[in-house]
Structure 1
Amino acid sequence: MAGGVGEGAIPLSIGYAAILGQPQGDFFAQVLPPVMLGSLTAILFSGMLNYVGKKYPHLTGNGRLQPPGDDALDLAAVEQQEDMASSSDITGIAAAGLTAIVLYLLGVMLFHLIGLPAPVAMLFLAVAAKLGSAVSPRLQSGGLVVYRFVRIGMTYPLLFAIGVSLTPWEKLMSAFTVANVVTIIATVFTLMATGALIGRLMNMYPIETAIVNACHSGQGGTGDVAILSAAERMQLMPFAQIATRIGGAITVTAVLVLLRWIG
């Protein structure tokens, strides 16, 4: 259960088929229901953590990963910059949107050239541009407006589309056996508990780190949206994407290497 469908279930089933010499479709039919049910479990647990955070506020940063002053990657600081972003002109906003599209298209090109998934490549390119000071303050300000529009205006319609038309409910229901449910709940719980524990040891808020880890079990990018919406922490989306894409790729690769070695 990692990477959702595109970066998880599909490459995992292809690897199983190549190693074990059986049809890929059969493995995909077995892998997909746990992915769906794992995502649902992560959504429920994240919603519960949101409630826990309201009852025990010292365990959460409400979108921050680390206490103020210690967090070089503090995405909650985005909220403090939105007033400045609201004053951006239309040219800066359009340029920011175009930049995001160009970065994604470059990610698609890298996927065809070296096989790196486009969302992962886009993340690397965006980080490189930021570290290399290739993004001007005006462009960053416009990017905050685009980010806020997507977060507010597109999240709930996307969740509706996922729930009504994209979720294969018949496959999800087929996974509701006692053995599957117990295994999946235990796996997601252990993953989130490990994230909370390690986060606590690293002076990070355990609820936020647990929620980011939960996205590792989600249904890809759409799962990230659902999990973070349930937790009311959409500020963590960049970290969720890293957990889903890069974490998923590492998990799938490690599983296939282990299977090959055992076989």
Structure 2
Amino acid sequence: METATPRTKVASASTYSPTASSPAASVTSTPSARERWWAIFDVRIGSLPLPVYVALIAILAAMTHNGKLAADLPTGIALVAVGGFTCAELAKRIPWVRHIGATSIFAAFIPSAMIYYGLMPAPVTKAVTTFTKSSNFLYLFIAAIIVGSVLSMDRRTLVKGFVRIFIPLAGGSIVAACVGTAVGTALGLEFKHALFYIVVPIMAGGVGEGALPLSAGYAQILGVDQGPIFAQALSAAMLGNISAICLAGLLSYLGTRKPALTGNGQLTVTPAGDVPEADADGESRFDASSLAAAGGTAIALYLLGVLTYQWFNWPAPVVMLVFVVIAQVFHVVSPSVRGGARFMYRFFSTAVTYPLMFAISVAMTPWGQIVTAFHWINIVTAVSTVLSLVLTGFFVAKWVGMYPVEAAIVNATHSGLGGTGDVAILTAANRMELMPFAQIATRIGGALIVMLALAAFAFFR
């Protein structure tokens, strides 16, 4: 909860006054009623002023009671804002746990659990689900974050990061596959089950790009129904995602204790004497039209990705990422629009992250599937897989000129649930700047894992 110090009037000691020696003259004056109210208004729950937060709760509760809770844009925004900021605020109040990504865990899973146990009103669930799916909220967020973060990066740092990130990713994937399979087998699982039904789904890139095509391929090879296989793959992927969120939170905490290990969101180490490119004047000065132009640019690039998906079945976020990197490297976008993109990135990462996670938890996260996966053998196997992936990235990073904390966090996103997992993991790590690299780990890394796994599964069946 953020507070603002009330403004007060203090007598100046440097200006002559007949009452300057009087004790009363040096005492802070009592704030007026208006100033006290302003101080209350400046208390924040997330990005919402406290009085606005309380008013929204009352209004939404009344609408729910009257059975007239709509799923339109204003109501949907109010619902996810109140829900997301409430979850994050509760998590911040828990000692120690908040250091392992509790804000992300609460926003990403508590709403789903409330639905599963019947604790969330049905009208709220319906309204949030309809709003989330009809607005495509997630991909608007990803577009704004990717475009904003890439256009805010130094070009040389951007290129070096994209070239080098594949080394810790590839090494981490191999080590994680070996360690996770070995641990699962040692705990009593069959070799094939540990590898293909737990370890592989964790690194397959989420649900739509990972668990679904993976389970469809397994089912086709075995000649069985896809449903039970998909449930197993989804459960493993969710366990991996939870493990990655917790490890990302710990990595963020490690960065605060050992500053030499982190670039605070910068992936590659800048050599001594290598000065980053100076920002153009227009990048530091922007107006509302620059922000609007940056938003239009992000939407245009995303729709270009959607079009290529329709034509060639290429993942839209990856295509969008490629085009925005090209635009930044070759100075396609003007400095003023880059300034607007920087502000757009900051706005979405600050004000939209927790509402988005709440919306995804309500609309897209099946808590029942997570509960069924809570067997200690599955948990230990999943944690060992993700831990191996993260530690490999951490220790390989220095060899390729990267910060260990940031490289390990990007490796952690390789075990996330697609775009939703990337958001949760990077939020827990407080490093949303790494979203472009997370998309490489999740989309490209996940696609390669799925292709290799299906080929190996067909060979060993």
TM-score by length of 1: 0.90
| Displacement after TM superposition at 1:59 (Å) | 1.5
1:119 and 1:181 map into 2 onto residues whose CA distance is 30
Q: Note the C-alpha offset of 1:182.
A: 1.1
Match of 2:356 in 1: 158
Map residues 20-99 of structure 1 onto 2, 5 A cutoff: 20-69=222-271, 85=283, 87-99=285-297
- Mark the CA change 1:130 to 1:84 in structure 2 (over 3 Å): closer, same or farther: closer
Q: Which structure has more helix as a fraction of its residues?
A: 1
Unaligned runs of 5+ in 1: none
Cα-to-partner distance string for 1:64-97 (whole Å, 9 max, x where unaligned): 2123347x9xxxx89x96x965631222211211
State how far apart, in whole Å, the 2-side matches of 1:33 and 1:85 are: 45
Q: Give the alignment partner of residue 310 of structure 2, picking from 85, 94, 112.
A: 112
Provide the C-alpha distance between the structure 2 equivalents of 1:91 and 1:58, rounded to a whole number of angstroms.
Answer: 39
State the 1:53 CA deviation: 1.7
Q: CA deviation at 1:165?
A: 4.3
**Contact (CA 8 Å) 1:224, 1:237: kept in 2 or not?**
yes
Q: Provide the rounded CA distance (Å) in 2 between the counterparts of 1:24 and 1:102.
A: 36
**Partner residue of 1:187?**
385
> Paired residue for 2:22?
none
Aligned counterparts of 2:339 and 2:236: Cα–Cα separation in 1: 40
Could you list the per-position Cα deviations for residues 12-57 of structure 1 after superposition, in whole angstroms to 9, with x for gaps in the alignment? Answer: 1121122222122221111101111110000011111112222222
CA contact (8 A) 1:110 1:116 kept: yes
Q: Distance in 2 between matches of 1:211 and 1:172?
A: 23
Residue type at the aligned position of 2:395:
L
Post-superposition CA distance 1:212-240 (Å, at most 9, x none): 10001011111111111111111111111
1:151 Cα deviation after fit: 0.8
Q: Which structure is larger by alpha-carbon Rg, 1 or 2? A: 2
Q: Give the CA deviation at 1:164.
A: 4.2
Counterpart AA for 1:185 = V
Task: State how 1:106-145 maps to structure 2 within 5 Å.
Answer: 106-145=304-343
Amino acid of the structure 2 residue aligned with 1:170: G
Q: Give structure 2 stretches of 5+ with no counterpart.
A: 1-201
**Identity among equivalent pairs (%):** 52
Q: Deviations over 1:171-220 (max 9, x none)?
A: 10110112211110110001001111211211211111011100010111
Q: Distance in 2 between matches of 1:30 and 1:139?
A: 45
Equivalence for 1:259 = 457
Matched positions, count = 258
Structure of higher RCO (CA pairs closer than 8 Å, 6+ residues apart): 1
* Further displaced range: 96-105 or 60-69: 60-69
Match of 2:199?
A: none
Deviates more, 1:167-176 or 1:51-60: 51-60
Pick from 370, 375, 381 the counterpart of residue 177 of structure 1. 375
Separation of aligned partners in 2, 1:99 and 1:147: 13
Q: CA RMSD in A?
A: 2.4
Q: Is residue 15 of structure 1 aligned with residue 217 of structure 2?
A: yes
Runs of 4+ in 1 over 6 A off after TM superposition: none
Relative to the length of structure 2, the TM-score reads 0.53
Residue 241 (1) aligns with residue 439 (2) = yes
SS at match of 1:218: coil
